[in-house]
Amino acid sequence: MNFWRFLFPKSLSGENELTYGERMAALRNLPKFFKMVWQTNYWLTITNALLRIIQSAIPLAILYTGKLIIDHVILLSQNKINHSRHHLWQLVAMEFGLVILSDSVGKIITLLDTLLGDLFANNTSVKILEHAAILDLDQFEDASFYDMLERARQQTVGRTVLLSQTLGQVQDIITMGFLITGLVLFNPWLILLLLIAVIPAFLGESHFNNKTYALYFGQTSERRELEYIRYLGASDETAKEVKIFSLSGFLISRFHYLSGKFYRDSRQLSLRRTAWGTVFAILGSAGYYGAYLIIMLRTVNGNQSIGDLTFMAGTFMQLRGLLQGVLGRFVFISQGAVYLRDLFDFFDIKPHMVIAANPRPFPHPIQHGFVFENVGFKYFNGEKWANRHLNFTLHAGEKLALVGENGAGKTTLVKLLSRLYDPTEGRILLDGYDLREYNLAELRMQVGIIFQDYLRYQMSVAQNIAIGDIREKENRALIVSAAKQSLANIFTEKLPGKYDQMLGRRFGQGIELSGGEWQKIALARAYMKDAQLLILDEPTAALDARAEYDVFLRFADLTRGRSSVLISHRFSTVRMADRILVLEKGELIEIGSHDELLAQGGHYAELFHLQAMGYR
């Protein structure tokens, strides 16, 4: 590659680069950041700050004592007897004391930084989890949201470094203030030389850090993909499919491609950074030796003492190191502040689901039921309507079944009913009032829903069931009764640890259940709370025919007097419902009891006969 093009490339990832103004603006995040640090633990924060102020005065004191020592030694060596050795020992003891003080304070500062950093990381992780909990379901379904969440998560650990860097920065600036005062008193011109030596390095650092952020930002979703491939390639949940479909080669080559791409991009940048870094380092050394020359000449000409020479050379050397550090760190901090923006941006995301200011209490019992008035719903990232023109009533105490082909909109309908989403058009009324007017937490308590893609928690049987109403996690009697209702009790009693048996293979002594057994555990969750509306979204697909029959007889029995919605592709189950809703392409095309719909000879009858034919 052309050397000039190597040093001055067109752009690596131009569109993500931030302007200088944007990075300065990002510094405004620092006060907010320190507010969070302060809230984490104000005692640790105050002690840290005080110790750093003490620490910043020590270098000048050591240098000056050093100068006094040398001057005194020279006088003594020239046999000027009016200077006593006793004073020399005092000076040496003082310098020794200062060095010990500096070392001890430094160690304590590092300790405080670590403690504060760990606490901060823990607190931020908790805040991220808490904030994620209040966000809406559709926000989780947005890929750009995931990217931001991912970057915010990484901030928690990365920011502990930012914390010590920013505190260290303030400390170094104060130290420099002391040293510059010392230097100016001796020779102000040296300051100019100092600036000339370090400013190019600062600009270079700033430029490359900006590039690094741009590169990192541009790679966020690909990095998530890399993590996903890592998970697919080596986890207990995926190992079976990966083997059966011989996916490892495919996954490894994708991993190889992505990681190779990241490597090449950052190598490019690192190489150029190193090349420029070397140029700036040479410039810095030239500045230092220029200053050294001036100091030496002044000493040789008798304008200052040897002690002054060591003091100035030492001060200049330390200032150079400090200034370079401060400027470089400034870039790091402004960069960190830019990353912080991701964290605060995440905290700024507000759920858009409307929560009633004065919510209506949930009716006990439901009097009339749920009325769908021309309800339509479009997923935010979808073009087509998942549900449209829905007009029907789910009467109090009624058992409704939803049928329809894959993608007909059954799951979407029950998500609207449980207010995981709000309708895009139309409205759902409960006992005459819009569902949005009710208290959301109460609604969630009163509507029990088990999805087809329920989670298999790597926890004990009892905890897995208690998920249905986590407030009752210690209520063993309730858990056992819920297990009895879903028939999960039969196999649970035979497990070595019974209800305390760990499930799943991820943690020690876990046992894997069969698909049907897992489903019974999930079903038991529905019986943990006394919900007025129970929704089962294809919860029996993995059950054998006898188990499904038993489960539904119980379900019908247990939900007597309560409303329920059942989604199933098995007509033997569906026919138990009072009324059946047939959906096609998101719209309601038929409604009625099993016999009525068969008599109509429409879509339901056709699907029913198709399935019945399979059994003949």
Q: How far is the CB of 135 from ligand ATP (least distance, A)?
A: 15
**Which residue reads 């240098």 in tokens?**
63
Residue selected from 404, 423, 448, 539 as contacting ligand ATP according to rule CB under 6 A: 404
DSSP string for residues in 42-107? HHHHHHHHHHHHHHHHHHHHHHHHHHHHHHHHHHHHTT-TTS-HHHHHHHHHHHHHHHHHHHHHHH
Residue with smaller CB distance to ligand ATP, 139 or 266: 139
Report if residue 529 touches ligand ATP, rule: CB under 6 A: no
SS3 357: coil
Q: How far is the CB of 382 from ligand ATP (least distance, A)?
A: 4
Give the CA distances from residue 338 to residues 19, 213, 350, 583, in Å, rounded to whole numbers and listed in that order.
Answer: 11, 9, 21, 49
Report if residue 59 touches ligand ATP, rule: CB under 6 A: no
Q: How far is the CB of 171 from ligand ATP (least distance, A)?
A: 50
Report if residue 343 touches ligand ATP, rule: CB under 6 A: no
- Site track for ligand ATP across 357-386, x = CB under 6 A: ----------------------x-xx---x
Q: Candidates 95-103, 388-396, 405-413, 547-555 — which segment interacts with ligand ATP by CB under 6 A?
A: 405-413
Residue with smaller CB distance to ligand ATP, 385 or 555: 385
Q: Candidates 126-134, 408-416, 472-480, 606-614 — which segment interacts with ligand ATP by CB under 6 A?
A: 408-416
Residue with smaller CB distance to ligand ATP, 226 or 414: 414
Residue with smaller CB distance to ligand ATP, 246 or 381: 381
Tokens coding 327: 């400027």
Q: What is the distance between the alpha carbons of residues 300 and 536, in angstroms, rounded to a whole number? A: 94
Tokens coding 173: 């600036």
**Which residue reads 């499930």 in tokens?**
503
In the DSSP assignment, the letter for residue 9 is -
Report if residue 408 touches ligand ATP, rule: CB under 6 A: yes
Q: How far is the CB of 424 from ligand ATP (least distance, A)?
A: 12
Interface of this chain with ligand ATP, residues 119 to 148, rule: CB under 6 A: 141
Residue with smaller CB distance to ligand ATP, 386 or 417: 386
Three-state SS annotation for 202-235: HHHHHHHHHHHHHHHHHCHHHHHHHHHHHHHHCC
Q: How far is the CB of 387 from ligand ATP (least distance, A)?
A: 7
Report if residue 407 touches ligand ATP, rule: CB under 6 A: yes
Q: How far is the CB of 46 from ligand ATP (least distance, A)?
A: 48
Task: Give yes or no for a contact between 318 and 193, defined as CB atoms under 8 angstroms apart.
Answer: no
Q: How far is the CB of 518 from ligand ATP (least distance, A)?
A: 18
**φ and ψ at 589, to 5 degrees?**
-110, -25
Q: How far is the CB of 441 from ligand ATP (least distance, A)?
A: 23
SS3 349: coil
Q: What is the longest distance spanned by two Cα atoms in the chain?
A: 126
Report if residue 549 touches ligand ATP, rule: CB under 6 A: no
Residue with smaller CB distance to ligand ATP, 386 or 449: 386
Q: Candidates 15-23, 25-33, 213-221, 399-407 — which segment interacts with ligand ATP by CB under 6 A?
A: 399-407
Cis ω before 9 (30° cut-off from 0): no
Decide: residue 582, CB within 10 A, 0-12 exposed, 13-18 middle, 19+ buried: buried
# chain residues binding ligand ATP, by CB under 6 A = 13
Residue selected from 79, 246, 301, 406 as contacting ligand ATP according to rule CB under 6 A: 406
Residue with smaller CB distance to ligand ATP, 417 or 488: 417
Q: What is the distance between the alpha carbons of residues 178 and 176, in angstroms, rounded to a whole number? A: 5
Q: Candidates 183-191, 316-324, 406-414, 473-481 — which segment interacts with ligand ATP by CB under 6 A?
A: 406-414
Q: What b-and-e string marks burial along 78-114, b requiring 16 or more CB atoms within 10 Å of the CB? A: eeeeebeeeebeebeeebeebeeebeebeeebeebbe
SS3 580: strand
Using CB under 6 A as the criterion, which residues of the chain lie in contact with ligand ATP when the complex forms?
A: 141, 379, 381-382, 386, 404, 406-412
